[in-house]
């Protein structure tokens, strides 16, 4: 059990590191698509069917990004020579569209579609990496890792509290979303409902931050010295070595 957790931990850190570098630095469609595919396969291996909603959401994101960028590519309007695949409204066909687009019309462009594919692949890769990381690495691992790096109690407290609050704030936002969906106001309130929901999430989050700051004042920062003695699955020295190796391997391939 201990070994399998270590392997999972090491793998997760490596996948996150390599994947983040690809997502951040690369504009190569093949590399990004391979990265996204691997991240999806890994997340399925880790979580099985639970990935389905995330997969559905990423399909929507992919389609939305590609369509919006293909039609409204900034380069087309900036005059950087985008290749038109299909005219939706040619220049001079409609006075209003001409006024809005500076006389350039509306067209589906090759460069726009490509930019849409690249940005959506970056997004999908990041999304699945974050998901898999949160599923395989426990907050305890992160605090243990911070300790190994020799950082202070305050930094470790920050890491611990962030990990502690993220799922809670997500859950809180989810509840407010469900409430907002179930409540049916009349008239203009229907239109402003998303803003009301957003405000409610902000209020609830601020209140949560308030209780956290009170608790932190009472308890002080996490005591890492004692924490090390009771932690069970501590991050390994091998992990640090593997991270360095993965970084090096990536640079060589790059």
Partner 1 sequence: MLIIRDFSFSYDGRRVLDDVSWELGEGEVGIISGPTGSGKTSLLYSLAGFVDEYVNAKILGEIKVFGMDPREALKRGLVYYVPQDPSVSFLGFDVLTELTWKGPDEDRLEEVIELFNLKSVLDKSVLNLSGGEAQKVAIASALLGGYKLIVFDEPLANLDGKSRRSFLSELKMLKEKGITCVIAEHRTELLESYADSVLPLNETPYQLNLQSFSFARKKAEGPLFKGVDMSFSYEGGPPVLSDIKIEVQPGQVISFVGPNGSGKSTLAKIIAGMLRPRGRYQRRGSTSFMLQSPELQFLEETVYREVSYEANRDDLISQSLEHFGLKGKEDRLPHSLSRGERVRLALASSAAKDPDLYVLDEPTEGQDRAGIIAITDFIRQARESGSSVIVVTQEDWFARQVSDQAFVFEGGIVHEAVP
Among 83, 189, 241, 244, binds partner 1 (CB under 8 A): 189
| Other C-beta atoms lying within 10 Å of the C-beta of residue 39 | 25
Q: Among residues 209, 251, 244, which one has the least CA distance to residue 21?
A: 251
Please, are residues 160 and 231 in contact by the beta-carbon 8 Å criterion?
Answer: no
Question: How does DSSP classify residue 27?
Answer: -
Q: Is 219 in the site for partner 1 (CB under 8 A)?
A: yes
**Per the structure block, which two tokens stand in for 49?**
């069917």
Q: Is 130 in the site for partner 1 (CB under 8 A)?
A: no
Phi, psi angles (nearest 5°) of residue 185? -80, 175
Among 94, 134, 180, 236, binds partner 1 (CB under 8 A): 180
State whether residue 136 is helix, strand or coil: helix
Instruction: Tell which positions 138-157 bind partner 1, by CB under 8 A.
Output: 138-140, 143, 157
Q: Is 211 in the site for partner 1 (CB under 8 A)?
A: yes
Cα 57 to Cα 55: distance, rounded to the nearest angstrom: 5
Cα 54 to Cα 44: distance, rounded to the nearest angstrom: 11
Among 134, 196, 236, 240, binds partner 1 (CB under 8 A): 196
Q: Of 72-80, 95-103, 105-113, 189-197, which segment contacts partner 1 by CB under 8 A?
A: 189-197
Label the pairing between strands 106-109 and 84-89: antiparallel
Closer CB to partner 1, residue 38 or residue 197?
197
Q: Of 58-66, 80-88, 110-118, 186-194, which segment contacts partner 1 by CB under 8 A?
A: 186-194
Where along the sequence are the contacts to partner 1 (CB under 8 A)?
Answer: 50, 138-140, 143, 157, 160-161, 163-164, 167-168, 171-172, 175-176, 178-180, 182-186, 189, 193, 196-197, 199-200, 203-204, 207-208, 210-220, 222-227, 229-230
């Amino acid at each position: 059990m201990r070994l399998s957790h270590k392997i999972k931990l090491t793998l997760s850190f490596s996948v996150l590191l390599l994947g983040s570098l690809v997502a951040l630095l690369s504009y190569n469609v093949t590399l990004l698509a391979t990265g996204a595919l691997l991240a999806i396969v890994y997340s399925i291996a880790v979580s099985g069917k639970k990935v389905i909603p995330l997969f559905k959401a990423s399909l929507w994101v992919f389609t939305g990004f590609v369509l919006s960028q293909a039609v409204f590519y900034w380069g087309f309007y900036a005059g950087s020579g985008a290749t038109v695949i299909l005219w939706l409204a040619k220049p001079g066909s409609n006075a209003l569209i001409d006024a809005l687009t500076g006389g350039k019309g509306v067209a589906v462009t090759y460069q726009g579609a490509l930019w849409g594919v690249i940005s959506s692949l970056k997004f999908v890769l990041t999304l699945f990496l974050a998901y898999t990381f949160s599923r395989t690495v426990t907050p305890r691992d992160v605090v243990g890792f911070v300790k190994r790096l020799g950082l202070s109690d305050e930094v470790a407290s920050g890491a611990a509290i962030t990990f502690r609050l993220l799922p809670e704030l997500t859950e809180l936002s989810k509840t407010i979303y469900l409430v907002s969906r179930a409540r049916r106001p009349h008239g203009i309130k229907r239109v402003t409902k998303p803003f009301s929901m957003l405000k409610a999430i902000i209020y609830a989050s601020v209140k949560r931050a308030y209780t956290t700051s009170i608790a932190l004042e009472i308890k002080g920062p996490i005591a890492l010295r004692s924490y090390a003695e009771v932690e069970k699955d501590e991050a390994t020295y091998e992990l640090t070595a593997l991270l360095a190796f993965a970084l090096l391997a990536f640079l060589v391939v790059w």
